[in-house]
Chains A and B, each alone.
Chain A
Amino acid sequence: MDAILLQILNGLDKGGAYALIALGLTLIFGTLGVVNFAHGALFMLGAFCAVAVNKLLTLEQVTLDPNQTTAWGSPLEIRTPYIENWLGDFGATLIDFSVPVSILLAIPVMLIFGLAMERGLVRFFYKRPHAEQILVTFGLAIVLQEIIKHWFGANPIPQPAPEDLRGMIDFGAMIGLTPGAVVYPWWRMVYLMFAAVTIGGVFAFLQFTTFGMVVRAGMADRDTVGLLGINIDRRFTFMFALAAIVAGLAGVMYTPILSPDYHMGMDFLVLSFVVVVVGGMGSLSGAVAAGFLLGILQSFASMNEVKAIFPGIDQIIIYLVAVVVLLVRPRGLMGRKGVMET
């Protein structure tokens, strides 16, 4: 029981990342009909927003202290981040919370980037075949990766979680199991909450606002909405930017779990695509459900008891599930009838 609960928790945080990326992919596909292979790169871009914020906050002022000397006899260098000089304790807290603070930078950056990408590139590909959409966004992903690599180098850059959230949480004790049986890192819990809130926010936005209603109408029948005198293109462009923001935020918050490097996006992209297809192309709830489902399955498959029976199952479980789902349920788990059914 404890072990099962632990594995479910383990799967949920990875599943959260899959679900957020897959949600963005599905938003873009459902509104614009574009298969976006650069979505993993957007995830990576978000992660590097966190890196950039951390770098900016920790820019240091170097002062020489003549009263103290190092072991070599030279004056001791005292390094203090500028922000601590200016803001004192609040500055130190800011540095400690650099990852959550990065969200403030990531939202405008991803918004602008999403709008620019949609207006500048993707809109010319609405009517072109899916293969060409895949290829051009794949090219863009390579370009983004290489630019990031040029600026930040090829090595992973670890990002610390805030001090208070670095420890473990005794989740088992909280819900009345034996203390110490189900312990779980705090930050993963935060990530899980964050993913849930973001997904809930996107759904609420689509469900309960007028803007969201129009977008849903446009997803169902774009031409008719256009004929009613609504500028559906502008709303869809905003949805593209929203998808970019979701991917970017997923990347920002994931940095303490996985040190970002320039090709992290590609690794997530392939899996997220599998998630989207398993959930059903164009189905938002399908993408979210499949994301969590595959995350949990993957964590169960990496249990030693399971690996003893099926060696290597942890390596292939996601793909295996994808193959089975696609062969048994051609539209994916929750795919709508008539969307990409060939």
Chain B
Amino acid sequence: MTSTVTATSPARDALMMVIFIAAVLTMPIWLTPIGAGYPDLLQKFAIYGIFAVGFNILFGLTGYLSFGHAAFLGVGSYTAVWAFKLLGMNAIPAVALSIVFSGVFAAAIGYVSLRRAGIYFSILTLAFAQMSYNLAYSVLTPITNGETGLRVLNSDPRIFDRMFGGGETQGVLLANFFGIELTGYAGFYFCAAILIIAFYVSLRIFRSPFGMMLRAVKSNQNRMNYTGLNPRPYTLAAFVISGMYAGLAGALLCVTDPLAGAERMQWTASGEVVLMTILGGAGTLLGPILGAALIKYFENIFSAFNDTTLAQFYSFLPEGAQHFMVELSSLFVGEGWHLTLGVLFMLIVIFLPGGIMEGIRRLAALFNRRGTGGGAAANDAGTVPAPAE
């Protein structure tokens, strides 16, 4: 984590940004061989990447472990669907309003929760998120449409759509970006563009004096107090920013599929983003995106495996061994992909507390020691493929 602080220069950042943009935009190409090159999954990579990047601004920099970030995701989703319903199917106002609303919501929750730290902060955020979830399911049904989930109907006002004609569309309503319907690859590129912007903003925050202040909060809050600085405004700002990221992610979920449900706010969803961030490497720039992509990849690919595909995979083995291997691996795929996730997760926390980024760094260090002489070149070779991992 410290090396991200020390080993930086504008040139390196620019290089990383260029590689990151290239990697994200070409994802449909280089992810196809591993079976992830279809728009639905790619959209999820980008959206949950944004969610995790935002969470990392709070957890990675300040060390405050929030267990209630799904609430902001949910607020963002509901706001986006209401924007669709009232204003029209253009994605821009929906996204903008979601960011504003989730930011306000985060400011309110953060103001209260940040009065405490450590596990108490975690429990407070968890309590607020569970309250929002339970209320969305029960009393707030007029706003959230409860269990059924909120969706856009043809009979909704959609002022702008009607103003510019074409309001009376038939069939399923899809979000658009000034006329381009945001489904399939168009939807992915919309999310990818926002992911790139979000990543750039997070990069600037990491490198700014503000980011340095947040790291100071993490390393020693007492010392910060003694130097006459009040950490509360900084942590609150970080909390609100990460809440806005979560709201943005929630809005994008609705842009790609205009339906908002309360289960998005459940604490398991908050747990998921924590897992993503830790898995990738908390406090690193790229780690959360890698973690998010990995978890979503497992969820989609592993859960699609069944006994037939497994039998094909092990077809080179003799009959008995094949049967045994299929039985054994079927525990871990399909319905049981959560087991893989749990095991993977335990292994990462036990052996590699810094997450994937830590692993990459160790590999790079190994490279450096092996190759005599051109250490810097080897280092570059070790770190540069990181976004493409």
Contact = CB atoms under 8 A, between A and B. Distances in A.
Given A130-B118, A139-B342, A320-B131, A273 B123 contact: yes
A146 B336 contact: yes
Interface in B246-293: 267-268, 271, 274-275, 278
A311 interface: yes
Given A128-B353, A315-B139, A139 B134 contact: no
Interface stretch (A108-116, A222-230, A248-256, A323-331): A323-331
Contact of B127 (A149, A311, A319): A319
B345 A315 contact: no
Interface in B328-387: 331, 335-336, 338-339, 341-343, 345-346, 349-350, 353
Contacts of A139: 342-343, 345-346, 349
Contacts of B128: 319, 323
Contacts of A130: 118-119
B162 interface: no
Interface residues of B, number: 40
B127 A142 contact: no
Contacts of A134: 65
A147 B134 contact: no
B123 A311 contact: no
Nearest to B127: A319
Interface string B114-139: 01111110011011101100110111
Interface string B300-343: 00000000000000000000000000000001000110110111
A132 interface: yes
Contacts of B116: 326-327, 330
A142 B137 contact: no
Contacts, number: 110
Contact of A312 (B139, B278, B338, B353): B139
Interface string B210-240: 0000000000000000000000000000000
A133 to B, nearest CB: 9
B112 interface: yes
A142 B118 contact: no
Contacts of B120: 277, 326, 330, 340, 342
Given A130-B119, A139-B346, A143-B339, A323 B124 contact: yes
A135 B119 contact: no
Given A138-B271, A142-B339, A326-B116, A315 B349 contact: no
A312 B112 contact: no
Given A270-B126, A312-B138, A35 B119 contact: yes
A273 B123 CA distance: 8
A242 interface: no
Interface string A257-286: 000000000100010011001000100000
Contact of A136 (B135, B271, B336, B346): B346
A124 B124 contact: no
A197 to B, nearest CB: 30
A274 B335 CA distance: 31
Interface string A132-157: 10111011111101110110000000
Contacts of B278: 131, 135
A95 interface: no
A146 B139 CA distance: 33
A142 B336 CA distance: 10
Nearest to A140: B346
A132 B349 contact: yes
B127 A135 contact: no
A76 B77 CA distance: 59
A312 B134 contact: yes
A135 B124 CA distance: 18
A316 B134 contact: yes
Interface of A: 35, 121, 124, 128, 130-132, 134-136, 138-143, 145-147, 149-150, 266, 270, 273-274, 277, 281, 311-312, 315-316, 319-320, 322-323, 326-327, 330, 340, 342
13 contacts: A121-B346, A128-B353, A130-B118, A131-B278, A135-B275, A135-B345, A145-B338, A146-B338, A146-B342, A266-B268, A274-B127, A277-B119, A327-B115
Given A35-B119, A143-B339, A149-B335, 9 more contacts: A121-B346, A124-B350, A139-B343, A140-B342, A143-B342, A146-B339, A315-B139, A319-B127, A330-B120
